[in-house]
Amino acid sequence: MKPRPLKLAQITDTHLLADPQALLRGCAPLQNLKTILDRLSQDPIDALLLTGDLAEAGEPEAYQHLLTLLKPFTCPIYWLAGNHDCLQSAQRILSPHYPGTTDTVRSLSLGAWQLILLNSVLPTAQWGEGYLSETTLQTLETTLQTQSDRPTLIALHHHPLPVGIDWLDQIAVTNGSRFLECIEPFRNVKIILFGHIHWAFEQHRGSQTFYGCPASSLQVTPPPPLPQAQSPGFRVLTLEENGSHQTQICRL
């Protein structure tokens, strides 16, 4: 019997507020997230990945709201912090329940796949830019070497390569080229997922595919504008045991 593929959902940039009824520049972050999670509960997934900017201002109440919405899910849930998050509050509230970001690299098993979570948040950032320390990159390289037989998905908050919007590319991973050099030799690295850019992005580099994801909150208009580009959304990936995958963007 052919092994069943694993279905992973990515939700990003939820930007939750302390006040559950508050609006963020015209959108309702908590209600948007609730609508997405309701849809996912009707078509069960095997794992859920939240790729940062979970809260707009890092308020503890925002993470409590997130925790409440996630409680009905029985699948594994993983999370990353973004530049808007307070890592200490997120870890205190979320980490007792769900594996999340660490100071460097976290490797987890996702069926036949390896999931690697990278912390790209730069505490001293001026505008929200990201950075991967040399320790992080060295640990990543070692992790990839020791698990070279497993298809691998790497997730981080910031985009590690240019996406074609000038102001966004100024707040990318500032040493993204070093990251690309680090992962380029590893054919087992199949997918690199990120948030931060608030739109659906896709680029292929050799055997590796880079995916940005629409936010569950506010959207950035991609160049050129695409139909439904202003609608909140999420990404679903189907991961095959042989290392292949399919993906789709789902909109509200």
The string of DSSP letters for 3-35 reads PPPEEEEEE----B-SSTT--BTTB-HHHHHHH
| Strand runs labelled E in 41-90 | 47-51, 77-80
- The CATH superfamily assigned to 6-251 is Metallo-dependent phosphatases (3.60.21.10)
pLDDT of residue 222: 80
**Helix, strand or coil, per DSSP, at residue 191:** strand
Mean pLDDT of 137-145: 96
Handedness of CA 154, 155, 157, 163 (dihedral sign): positive
What are the distances in angstroms from CA 41 to CA 15, 66, 240? 21, 15, 22
**Tens digit of pLDDT for each residue in 79-99?**
999 999 999 999 999 999 999
Q: What are phi and psi of 153, to 5 degrees?
A: -115, 125
The model's pTM: 0.96
DSSP state of 203: E
**Tens digit of pLDDT for each residue in 12-66?**
999 999 999 999 998 999 999 999 999 999 988 999 999 999 999 999 999 999 9
How far is Cα 116 from Cα 163, in angstroms, rounded to an integer?
A: 22
Residue type, 110: L
Average pLDDT of the chain is: 95
Residue 1 has pLDDT above 60, yes or no: no
User: What percent of the chain stands above pLDDT 70?
Assistant: 98
**Tens digit of pLDDT for each residue in 193-220?**
999 999 999 999 999 999 999 999 999 9
Would you say 195 and 13 are in contact if contact means Cβ atoms under 8 Å apart? yes
